[in-house]
Amino acid sequence: MRPLIVLFVVVTLALLGFGFYQGMYAAPTEQTMGDIQRIFYYHVPSAWTAFILFFVNFVASIWYLMKRRTTTDALALASAEVGVVFCTIVLITGPLWAKPVWGIWWTWDARLTTTLVLWLIYVSYLILRRFSDSQQTPTLAAALAIFGFLDVPIVYMSIRWWRTQHPQPVIGGAPGSGLDPSMKFALYSNFVAFMAMAALIMWFRYRLAVKEQRLEEEHRARTLRSQLREVR
Amino acid sequence: MTLLGLAATNLQKDLRLEWRSRDTLNALGFFALLVVVIFSFSFDPSAEESRRIAGGIFWVSFVFAALVALNQSWARELRNQVLDAYRVSGAPPASLFMGKAFGNFLFVALIEALVSPLFVIFYNLRAIGSLWMLAAVFLLGTWALVINGTFFAALCARTRSREMMLPLLLLPISLPAVLAMVEATTAILTGESSPGMWIKLLTGYDIVFTTASLLLFETVLNSE
């Protein structure tokens, strides 16, 4: 197992380096926004990675409620935690990019607001995990994860309606429409690099969670055994 | 006994207990009154302005007031191990949940009916849009708060520091519902736009989360 992980770490670092080169040097400079636009190569891949991880969390939560395997719960925990980290990167790089380009830090646009609400929901998920007893945590957290996932499309629709009713506060500088092929390549190579990085961190977090669960079980069994001995 | 019959029995029990003590209604009503007064101090708007902000202030007050009621709603069941007795009994957990949710809905709706006239007085409100629509928004909005609130209160009853947990879990999930309630109410009060879309959104939200709560309540009740 160990050489495989080392290989994976090396590959991930190489991918990140390649993505950095593509995004910072190889991709052409955007005409109106200039070099600031290059934050795009970190902002968008982080967003995609976060959304994929939250989806993994949703699937793992349902899977856990069906099969009740503790390893599935460890996967749910790892994907939620790493997802929150990437979602935080999105929420930090977004305003950093918006301020010089749009002139404002924040706008209540559908995608921004949905990402923020998604972040809030998964932070509340992590708080719930922290505040419940270890035996109940997986079930309660899985229930919340399903509620949160159901909420996301409703949030997206509601914000779209909300903002179509009011005038847009900014002139949309939406990229993604008619992207230069070299920009696309830089975007995708960064996406692959970020997914590899997320998978790597998630793997470590997953291993840690499984070990924690085993320790917890061992501890519980020991307490039970000593109690039994006292009874006898 | 059918599911609805059992739910009605549960509701009856809760209403009778509440009628004898009136704990929830007194606390909830007084809290809502306090919030209204505090908001009236903080904003001193003209009639035109107040029509624009009243929807927001109104629902924020009732979200907080509902939290007070919801936090208490499972306390009685926990104290005397009623929940454990319920798990042993053959009655479907969904009926217990429905009874609780209807009870909470009645309490919150009653307080809204009592406190709304105060809003009208303090803010000099007069709705330009249709009052029937406003009633629909109230019913759907209150149900949206209460259905998820009852579910998450049961979920939080199984955690440490449960009173603190409920707002932390309920508020993020309720964001689209709160937005819809506020926008619909403002649309009706100002008469500037149609609230139809928001009422549809609230209806969809209610259907989705009522179904989810009924399906997942048993899992939460039996989590151990």
Nearest to B179 among A123, A124, A162 (CB): A162
Supply the pLDDT for residue A170: 42
Q: How far apart are CA B169 and CA A55, in angstroms?
A: 19
- Closest C-alpha to A71, from A198, A190, A220, A212: A212
pLDDT band at B172 (very low <50, low <70, confident <90, very high): very high
Supply the pLDDT for residue B68: 86
Mean of the pLDDT values across residues B99-120? 89
Supply the pLDDT for residue A167: 45
Which of B140, B155, B207, B215 is the best substitution to test chain A (most A C-beta atoms within 10 A)? B155
Nearest to A151 among B173, B197, B220 (CB): B173
Mean of the pLDDT values across residues A187-196? 91
Per-residue pLDDT for A34 more than 80?
A: no
B56 at A interface, C-beta within 8 A: no
Distances (CA, A) of A200 to A76, A193, B142: 15, 11, 45
Mean of the pLDDT values across residues B4-14? 88
ipTM: 0.86
pLDDT band at B33 (very low <50, low <70, confident <90, very high): confident
Tokens 């007064």 found at: B37
Q: Between B143 and B72, where is the model more confident? A: B143
DSSP-based three-state secondary structure for A34: strand
Which of A73, A154, A160, A165 is the best substitution to test chain B (most B C-beta atoms within 10 A)? A154
B208 at A interface, C-beta within 8 A: yes
Cβ–Cβ of A159/B179 closer than 8 Å? yes
How many CB atoms lie under 10 A from the CB of residue A204? 12
Mean of the pLDDT values across residues A189-203? 92
pLDDT over 70 percentage in chain B: 98
pLDDT (tens digit per residue) in A94-133: 888 888 888 888 877 777 888 899 999 999 999 999 888 7
Q: Between B182 and A34, where is the model more confident? A: B182
Supply the pLDDT for residue A38: 85
DSSP-based three-state secondary structure for A109: coil
From chain A, pick out residues whose CB is under 8 angstroms from the CB of B175: 117, 120, 151, 155
**pTM across the whole model:** 0.87
Tokens of residue A123, six digits:
């932070």
Instruction: Convert B45-59 to b/e letters by CB count within 10 Å (16 or more is b).
Output: eeeeebbebbbbbbb
Burial of B139 (0-12, 13-18, 19+ CB in 10 A): middle
Distances (CA, A) of B95 to A105, B11, B92, B98, B103: 48, 10, 6, 5, 12
pLDDT (tens digit per residue) in A207-220: 999 999 999 889 99
Q: Any alpha helices (H) in A22-136, and if so which ranges?
A: 40-67, 70-102, 110-131
Cβ–Cβ of A147/B209 closer than 8 Å? yes
Cβ–Cβ of B193/A146 closer than 8 Å? no
Q: How far apart are CA B104 and CA B147, in angstroms?
A: 9
The single-letter DSSP state of residue A103 is S
Supply the pLDDT for residue A77: 94
From chain B, pick out residues whose CB is under 8 angstroms from the CB of A130: none
Per-residue pLDDT for B59 more than 80?
A: yes
Mean of the pLDDT values across residues A130-145? 88
Mean of the pLDDT values across residues B199-213? 93
Per-residue pLDDT for B74 more than 90?
A: no
Contact of B152 with A127, CB cutoff 8 Å: no
